Amino acid sequence: MLWRNGWGRCHLEVYPRASNEIYMCGIGGSKYLDNAQLKNVAPEEITADPARVAAAERSFSAMASLASKGSDIQQACMRPCPPDAMPYMGRIPGMTNAYMAAGHNCWGILWAPVTGLAMTELILDGRCKCVDLSAFDPGRFSTPARDLARGKRGRAQGEAPVGEQW
């Protein structure tokens, strides 16, 4: 659900649980960290932004009367997300019989059925018929395939934005 409040838009997902707890996720306004920043962040430094927590609580209060208490626990996490927020799906450049389907961000469950079908078609038939995979090319942020073949993958590429956002 997308609710407008005083802070701006807050994408809010609400999950009632059998334990009588309510789990909420608020997405939006998150900070994106590049590779250099990621190298200097410890897991305990990833904390919830108080402004985002307040926005989620206000949004939930606007739609549910049982939201008057406020949250007991606030948490934050890092999710792998390529720089363009599009997953990697397809053949890995410079490799033989190597494929990738990753980086779906928070939408992995939603993307799972079509990703499975697309990768199955690609691997078994040599091409994907159900969807055009060109926008999801795993090599779109990489250095040329010859550099990959020489072992310059991942962080070894230096400052190249390879999407290692975890």
List, for residues 103-129, the tens digit of each pLDDT value. Answer: 887 778 888 999 999 999 999 999 999
Instruction: Provide the residue ranges of all domains of the chain, joining segments of one domain with +.
Output: 2-67, 88-157
Length of the chain: 166
pLDDT > 60? residue 5: no
The backbone torsions φ and ψ at residue 118, rounded to the nearest 5 degrees and listed phi first, read -60, -45
Which residue is listed with tokens 């890092």? 78
pLDDT at 161: 47
163 with 80: CB under 8 angstroms?
A: yes
- Least reliable range by pLDDT among 46-50, 103-107, 131-135, 156-160: 156-160
Q: What is the mean pLDDT of the chain?
A: 76
Tell me the average pLDDT across 29-47: 77
pLDDT > 70? residue 96: yes
27 with 40: CB under 8 angstroms?
A: no
* Core vs surface per residue 155-166: b (16+ CB within 10 A) or e: eebeeeebbbbe
**What burial class does residue 33 get, using C-beta atoms within 10 Å of its C-beta: 0-12 exposed, 13-18 middle, 19+ buried?**
middle
Q: How confident is the model at residue 138 (pLDDT cuts 50, 70, 90)?
A: very high
* Core vs surface per residue 115-146: b (16+ CB within 10 A) or e: beebbebbeeeeebeeeebeebbbbbebbeee
Q: How confident is the model at residue 10 (pLDDT cuts 50, 70, 90)?
A: low
pLDDT at 106: 74
Return the higher-pLDDT residue of 52 and 124.
124
**Radius of gyration of the chain from Cα atoms?**
20
